[in-house]
Amino acid sequence: MKLYSLLLSTFLLGGCATSSLNIGADDTLALTYGKEKLSARGLTLDRKSDSYPELELHQRIIELDDNSLIVYEEVETDEKYQFQHATQNSIKMIFDAKKLTLLYQRNNLYFVQLELKDGTYLNVIAQQSDMQSFTQLYGFSNMQMKKIIKTISKEDKKITFNDNVVIFEHFEGSYISKWSTKLIAIDGLMTLSDEYRLR
């Protein structure tokens, strides 16, 4: 069933048994929660990958059917490493944000608004199934986030959003996460996995 209210008709509601946030070969974004799934048709405008000793990072800039742009990032760690912190702390570190506000949480799906160092705000949806994988989408407008949360929660919750939110109009400059060797190794985003630490 098409949900006109969600992302200006870009998302569809279907059935699914597990929780995840991923993108298919046809550029369809899928956000699953419980037994339901939200999906959105998109078009990849740009993609890149980076390899670090601790992890593999894959990024895409996606144009949705309503012409809005969002960034998709997927991380898989090397078997020797894992994320050191809880998901919300990792998100804050990845963007070097001043403050994180949790807007809504459903199992391992997090809907947050970050206050960045320049005074702007960024809406992020993140999912972390375990300590060795991490996926996030960012660049949503406040209206998009409100509609997604309302659809998933099935409640009309009053959520306060800050204005001056980051929305991408061009794919140039849209990768604003702070992935680097410093973030990963020096600042301590990653640590040795439990398996290797106990050897």
CA atoms within 13 A on the CB side of 127: 19
Global pTM reads 0.89
What CA–CA distance (Å, rounded) separates 128 from 92?
14
Helix (H) or strand (E) holding 101: strand 99-106
What CA–CA distance (Å, rounded) separates 48 from 191?
24
CB within 8 Å of 83: residues ≥ 6 apart: 77, 90, 128, 131, 132, 134, 189, 190, 191
CB atoms within 10 A of CB 153: 15
Q: What is the pLDDT along the chain (199 residues), one digit of tens a residue?
A: 233 334 433 444 344 434 789 898 889 899 888 778 888 989 999 999 999 999 999 999 999 988 999 999 999 999 999 999 999 999 999 999 999 999 999 889 999 999 999 999 999 999 998 999 999 999 999 999 999 999 888 887 789 999 999 999 988 899 999 999 999 999 999 999 988 877 6
What CA–CA distance (Å, rounded) separates 89 from 96?
10
Pairing of strands 190-192, 133-138: unpaired
CB atoms within 10 A of CB 55: 21
- DSSP secondary structure letter of residue 157: -
Two tokens, residue 188: 């301590």
Which amino acid is residue 153, in one-letter code?
S
